[in-house]
Structures are given as C-alpha cells and as structure tokens.
C-alpha cells in the first residue's frame, strides 16, 4: 500500500506522512507538480493526495494529465478553503474526493479508505487465506478471532503478498511497495522482514506460508 503525497507545506506534509507511515502505508512525498508527474509515470500508487496550491501550478491540472495517461488511481484533493465552487471544479476534473483544510487526520484516513474501496480501485476488501484474514484497506490482520499485531514493515510485506495471494510477487515490486524513493535499501532488509514474518506466522499458526521463487520473488500460500 503506497500513496503519493503532493503538498508543499512542509509541516503538514510531514504530519500526514508520519501518520500514514505509522499505519503501514508507504508515502512518496513531493512539493512539486513536476516531480509528481515523474513519480506517477514511474510507478503506480494506491491513491494520490494532492494539494491545489503548489509552487509550480494548480495541483488540479495534474488530474487531467493522469487520466489522459489512463491512470485510474483515486485522487483526493486538499484545498485551503472548502468552497463549493472549487469542489465542483475538482470533482468535474476527475478527483475522487475533496478535503478542506484544516482537517483531522482521521478524516483523511477515512476518505482514503473510502476512495480505495471503490470499484475502480485496485484493492479488494478482506483477503482470506488459511486461518488468516487480511484487510488491505484497514491494514490489519486477524488469525482466527485474534488480531495479529505486526511491526510496520512486516505488515506491509504481508499485505502486499496477500493482495496477490497464490501468485509470485517480484522482489522489486515488494521493495517499491514498502519503501519510498528516499529510503533506498542496500542490504537484505527485505529478506530479514520475510524471515521474521515467517516466524510470527508460524507462531500464530496462521495456516499460511511464504514461499520463495529463486531469483524472482516471494509468494503467499495456504499450506
């Protein structure tokens, strides 16, 4: 689960990034429209949070550009004032939701969840596998009746694998899903997370196992 945050107010951006990160959602952040366009070309996000006022233009111009590249990623637009006029303009241009500043983090989460749950979004609700249930939107995991608390990174690994259950997920995909572009990884951190995650899943008797496809990636299966 990864979102793109386009916001030039540093304090706000950091607050949003910190909150989302804590919930196990990776955040790529930029203050510039130009960079946002580049990032969106390079990878796919589960959602985009977009400020209107940006140093190099009105954020809203980003949306037609996205849509014309047939990117269907949901977009939530942030704006200083919540004027109905602006709201209509945003939605007309293809934004999926609209949020006036200031707002509560909880409200942003709620709208992100709502927007990613939409049929056009990629994420499906609640994946069941073995004794385990993964909710990729709420980012939580149940084993039987008990909630399984996982460290952030391990949770991200598990959710990413669960979303493609039974299919091989490329190493590189896992890495880009779990780390943002400024956290470059220079070791086998991913392997370490997988290893620790395996142990936890075994201890919890989750009824699933993580297989490795040598030289390619990992895959999650019932066992």
Looking at 49-57, 86-94, 102-110, 188-196, which segment touches its own copies (CB under 8 A)? 102-110
Rounded Cα distance between 158 and 136, Å, is: 9
Hey, which residues between 90 and 149 contact DNA (CB under 7 A)?
A: 149
Instruction: Say how far apart CA 199 and CA 151 lie, in whole Å.
Output: 13
Among 31, 154, 159, 163, binds DNA (CB under 7 A): 154
Q: How far is the CB of 138 from its own copies (least distance, A)?
A: 10
Kindly state the DSSP code that residue 60 receives in the 8-state scheme: G
Asked if residue 1 lies in contact with residue 136, where contact means CB atoms within 8 angstroms, the answer is yes
Of its own copies, DNA, none, which one sits near residue 69, judging by CB under 5 to 8 A according to partner kind? none
Q: Whose CA is closest to 151, among 127, 178, 176?
A: 178
**Does residue number 194 form part of the binding site for DNA (CB under 7 A)?**
yes
Between residues 53 and 152, which has the closer beta carbon with respect to DNA?
Answer: 152
> Judged by CB under 8 A, which stretch of 5-13, 73-81, 87-95, 98-106 contacts its own copies?
98-106
Stretch that binds its own copies, among 49-57, 121-129, 163-171, 193-201 (CB under 8 A): 163-171
CB of 201 to DNA, least distance (A): 11
d(CA 137, CA 60): 25
Write out 111-143 in H/E/C secondary structure. Answer: HHHHHHHCCCCCCCCCEEECCEEEECCCCEEEE
- Helix or strand run (H / E) with residue 49: strand 47-51
Q: Are 153 and 1 in contact (CB under 8 A)?
A: no
The binding site for DNA (CB under 7 A) comprises 18, 22, 149, 151-154, 171, 179, 183, 185-189, 191-196, 198-199, 212-217
**Contact residues: its own copies, CB under 8 A:** 19, 22-23, 38, 41-43, 82, 100, 103-107, 140, 147, 149, 151-152, 166-168, 170, 172-173, 176, 213-216
């Amino acid at each position: 689960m990864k979102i793109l945050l386009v916001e030039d107010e540093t304090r706000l951006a950091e607050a949003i990034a910190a909150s989302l990160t804590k919930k196990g959602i990776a955040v790529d952040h930029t203050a510039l429209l130009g960079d946002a366009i580049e990032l969106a070309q390079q990878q796919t996000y589960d959602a985009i949070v977009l400020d209107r006022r940006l140093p190099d233009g009105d954020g809203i111009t980003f949306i037609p550009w996205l849509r014309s590249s047939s990117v269907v990623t949901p977009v939530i637009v942030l704006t200083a004032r919540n004027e109905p006029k602006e709201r209509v303009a945003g939605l007309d241009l293809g934004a999926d939701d609209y949020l006036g500043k200031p707002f509560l983090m909880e409200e942003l989460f709620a709208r992100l969840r709502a927007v990613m749950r939409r049929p056009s979004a990629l994420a499906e609700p609640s994946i069941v596998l073995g004794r385990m249930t993964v909710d990729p939107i709420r980012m939580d995991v149940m084993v039987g009746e008990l909630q399984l608390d996982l460290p952030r990174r391990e949770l991200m690994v598990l959710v990413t694998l669960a979303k493609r259950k039974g299919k091989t997920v490329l190493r590189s995909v896992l890495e880009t899903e779990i780390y943002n572009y400024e956290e470059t990884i220079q070791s086998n951190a991913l392997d370490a997370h997988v290893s620790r995650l395996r142990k936890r899943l075994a201890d919890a008797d989750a009824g699933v196992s993580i297989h490795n496809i040598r030289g390619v990636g990992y895959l999650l299966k019932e066992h």
